[in-house]
Amino acid sequence: MTRCFKKYFSFFGVLCATVNRKIKSMLISLDSHISNNLPKILKILHSKQLKPISLYSTNKYNSQQGNLYAK
């Protein structure tokens, strides 16, 4: 006595599951890479000192004008 079983998995279902597993694998490897290198990146960023773009800020300009008028 043999029975014919219906196929419950279609081609697109198998394809979707395969792609889903591959995407999860890539995300896990990316997460691992970021978590390993994040302390190094933060250390480099904290070691850099930010400098102003222009040497003449508005406060310095206003204080120089005040000194000119005081003379």
Instruction: Using only the alpha carbons of the chain, give its radius of gyration.
Output: 32
Model pTM above 0.75: no
- Asked if residue 29 has pLDDT above 90, the reply is yes
Where does the pLDDT of residue 71 fall: very low under 50, low under 70, confident under 90, or very high at 90 and above? very low
CA–CA separation, 48 vs 7, rounded Å?
A: 61
- Locate 24 and state its tokens: 């999860």
The count of C-alpha atoms lying within 13 angstroms of the C-alpha of 53, restricted to the half-sphere facing its C-beta, is 1
- Asked if residue 39 has pLDDT above 80, the reply is yes
